[in-house]
Amino acid sequence: MNNEQKIDVKQALRVFDKITRHGEKTEKGWQYRGLSASTDFDGYTVFLRSAKVELTIFFHNKFTIECRNSLDLEEFIELLGKIERS
């Protein structure tokens, strides 16, 4: 599975922005339509999480993905698209 071809970092950052603007603020960040969003202490690292996937975006748009399988990742990518279009 080549994650670099599947994740659009710019899209993920647009979704992060939407979650922080429209989501519910919690102790751990923001919640919106099945995703949570948060940052590290300085704001340079961004976290997007679903129930099954965690996407971490670092400075200069480098990223890591934690998930069990490619189906979970595909569902996560679909959810990013739905939130971006909503």
Number of domains in the chain: 1
Instruction: For residue 38, tell me if it sits in a domain.
Output: yes
Instruction: For residue 16, tell me if it sits in a domain.
Output: yes
**For 11-25, what is the mean pLDDT?**
97
Instruction: For residue 86, tell me if it sits in a domain.
Output: no
Band of pLDDT at residue 81, cut at 50, 70 and 90: very high
**For 2-31, what is the mean pLDDT?**
90
The pLDDT, as a whole number, for residue 5 is 57
Residue 24, both tokens: 């519910």
Instruction: For residue 67, tell me if it sits in a domain.
Output: yes
Tell me the three state secondary structure of residue 58: coil
Kindly give the pairing relationship between strand 35-39 and strand 63-66: unpaired
Containing structural domain, residue 59: 3-81
Instruction: For residue 40, tell me if it sits in a domain.
Output: yes
**CATH number for position 7:** 3.30.310
Instruction: For residue 51, tell me if it sits in a domain.
Output: yes
The pLDDT, as a whole number, for residue 6 is 85
Q: What is the pLDDT of residues 34-80, one digit of tens each?
A: 999 999 999 899 999 999 999 999 999 999 999 999 999 999 999 99
At what angle are helices 70-85 and 9-22 packed, to 10 degrees?
Answer: 60
